[in-house]
Homo-oligomer: A and B are copies of this chain.
Amino acid sequence: MNFKAIEPLEKKIRILDQRQLPLKIIYHDYDDYRDIIDSIKTLEVRGAPAIGIAGAFALAIASMAEVKTDVERLKKILIDIADEIKSARPTAVNLSWAVNRALNRAQKFDGDDIKELSQHIWDEAKSILKEDEEMCAAIGRHGAQLIQDNDTILTHCNAGALATGGIGTALAVMYMAKAQGKKFKVYSDETRPLLQGARLTCWELMQEGIDVTLICDNMAGFLMQQGKISCVILGADRIAKNGDFANKIGTYGVAVLAKAHGIPFYVAAPTSTFDENTSSGKDIPIEERSPEEVTNWGGAPTAPNGVKVYSPAFDITPVELVTAFITDKGIIPGKRK
Task: Show the binding face of A for B, using Cβ within 8 Å.
Answer: 22-23, 187, 189-193, 195, 198-199, 202-203, 206, 211-223, 225, 249-250, 252-253, 256-257, 260, 294-295, 297-312, 315-316
Contact = CB atoms under 8 A, between A and B. Distances in A.
Nearest to A223: B310
Given A295-B198, A301-B23, A302-B195, A311 B221 contact: no
A184 to B, nearest CB: 14
Contact of A219 (B189, B195, B300, B311): B311
B192 A308 contact: no
A190 to B, nearest CB: 7
A281 to B, nearest CB: 10
A307 B214 contact: yes
Given A206-B304, A297-B297, A303-B22, A311 B216 contact: yes
Given A215-B311, A218-B249, A256-B260, A294 B199 contact: no
B303 A300 contact: no
A155 to B, nearest CB: 13
B190 A307 contact: no
Contacts of A195: 302-303
A322 to B, nearest CB: 15
Given A212-B307, A315-B225, A257 B253 contact: yes
A191 B212 CA distance: 22
Contact of A206 (B203, B294, B307, B316): B307
B295 A297 contact: no
Contact of A297 (B212, B214, B298, B312): B298
Nearest to A185: B308
Nearest to A297: B297
B218 A303 contact: no
Contacts of A301: 22-23, 298
Contacts of A312: 219, 222
Contacts of A252: 221-222, 225
Contacts of A218: 189, 191-192, 217-218, 249-250, 253
A302 B215 contact: no
